[in-house]
Amino acid sequence: MSTIKRPLLRTTVAACIAAAGVVLSTAPAQAAYTDCASGYACMWQSTSYSGSPNSSFSMEVKLSTSRNKINSIVNNGTKKMAYFYDNLDYSGAVVFLGNPVIGGQWRDPNLSNGTDATPIAFANRIESARFQ
């Protein structure tokens, strides 16, 4: 009996390995800054835009659950600069981003060193943000 089962087992194992390979190759790509829809600015609690955005806005936003927890930001808007504020009422220290249309830096994967134009420690500080 075993001489009959062995080829079958090999076939099954090979099929499982092949199936696993298929699963791995078709798994969704890691979320990235491209997950920020056109016309929006997005914020992630993680660095490097890992996972889905924790907050996004097309005009302005006051953060709640992500308040003081943001570590990477993207401006995928098409018109205005995006400003990200230390305080909840659009005040205090600020970092800003251009966008793909107007140019300039439009995303930053790690706010621990701020943005290119504003190199200050800004990890876990954003509480509100808006286009203007």
| Amino acid letter, 16 | C
List beta partners, residue 43. 55, 73
The strand ranges marked E within the chain are 41-44, 55-57, 60-62, 72-75, 82-85, 94-97, 107-108, 128-131
One residue of 113, 117, 121, 132 binding Ca ion per CB under 5 A: 113
Nearer to Ca ion, 48 or 110 (CB): 110
CB 20 → Ca ion: shortest distance, Å?
37
* Contact call for residues 94 and 83 (beta carbons, < 8 A): yes
One residue of 66, 83, 99, 127 binding Ca ion per CB under 5 A: 127
CB 57 → Ca ion: shortest distance, Å?
17
Give residues in contact with Ca ion (CB under 5 A): 68, 86, 108, 110, 113, 125, 127
